[in-house]
Amino acid sequence: MRLTLLTGLLKNLKGEIPPRMRREFLSKADAYRRLLEISGESYPMESVEEWERWVRQARRSRTRFFTKNNKNL
Amino acid sequence: MRSLTHHFFGDSSLRSTVKDECAYVTMCSVGKPGACWSLGVLGRGQASLNYIYSLGDVVKYGPTGSYFNVWKGQRTLAIGDSAFERTFAGQLGEAAHEIVHAQQFARMTARRFGGNMSAAEKYFFGPQFAFGSPMYACGERVAETVARLRINDYLGGMSLQQWGASTRYINGF
């Protein structure tokens, strides 16, 4: 599925991706951990709105996450 | 009038929906270089279909979106609603993207696991390829890059908007 990183992580955090989508599915805890890693933020797992706000900002700034300089990964 | 899938599969597939048929047609169109969109030319369409069925055991319409999946040895290629809402090029691009994933799986099965699909399935959908991992990102970038080159070649060019949308997807990882 053509799912961008941020959209996919957000959808997984909300539990919107069914486990049968094996390549795209993550547990909520794993999605949350991955969001913590790439964002450097510390919003709680339940604060979906705060994560949505962060994702919107990251999209606007066109941040790339998988770079050799990203020490969070 | 007989259904499109009837041409391919005979009576056994008459239960398929129009969207199923569109998924077959879309997949077949991008299954091989030079494959035909029109099923009127059944010769080349059949060749594409054979190729698609060497990559996936089930080719269908998937209401939740386009995807490639393997479950207990059954490989599924699906074209979703989002594709049918898009342009012709967008629809083909979505199918081409999933076909590349199917090819990645087929290649890994053959080369790394000597044809052992069960082992390949465990590895391909294992934690190292989990969504959001660097390996997943790598797979997506390759799939999108190859898919858009194929569609660009097949259609004889893509619009700047289509190319840009694809680039945004690649850069999203």
In a domain? residue A73: no
| Residue A45, pLDDT above cutoff 50 | yes
**Spatial distance between the Cα atoms of B66 and B79, rounded to a whole number of angstroms:** 4
Number of domains composing chain A = 1
Q: What is the least distance, in Å, from the CA of B172 to any CA of chain A?
A: 6
* Greatest distance between any 2 Cα atoms in chain B: 49
Instruction: Provide the pLDDT confidence category of residue B91 given band limits of 50, 70 and 90.
Output: confident
Mean pLDDT of A44-49: 91
Which of B131, B170, B173 is the best substitution to test chain A (most A C-beta atoms within 10 A)? B131
Domain housing A27: 5-60
As a whole number of Å, the CA-based R_g of chain A is 12
In a domain? residue A27: yes
Instruction: Provide the pLDDT confidence category of residue A48 given band limits of 50, 70 and 90.
Output: very high
Residue ranges per structural domain of chain B: 4-171
| B121 vs B92, residue with greater confidence | B121
By mean pLDDT, which of A46-55, A63-72, B1-10, B145-154 is the weakest? Answer: B1-10
In a domain? residue A43: yes
Type of residue at B151: I
Instruction: Provide the pLDDT confidence category of residue A9 given band limits of 50, 70 and 90.
Output: very high
CA-based nearest residue in chain A for residue B138: A66
Is B88 part of the contact surface with chain A (CB cutoff 8 Å)?
Answer: no
Per-position DSSP letters for B17-70, written without gaps between them: -HHHHHHHHHHHHHHSTT--S-TTSHHHHHHHHHHHHHH-SEEEEETT--EEEE
- Residues 6 or more apart from B32 whose CB is under 8 A from it? B47, B48, B51
Q: What is the least distance, in Å, from the CA of A35 to any CA of chain B?
A: 9
Tens of pLDDT along B18-72? 666 666 666 666 665 444 433 333 344 566 677 788 888 888 887 778 889 999 9
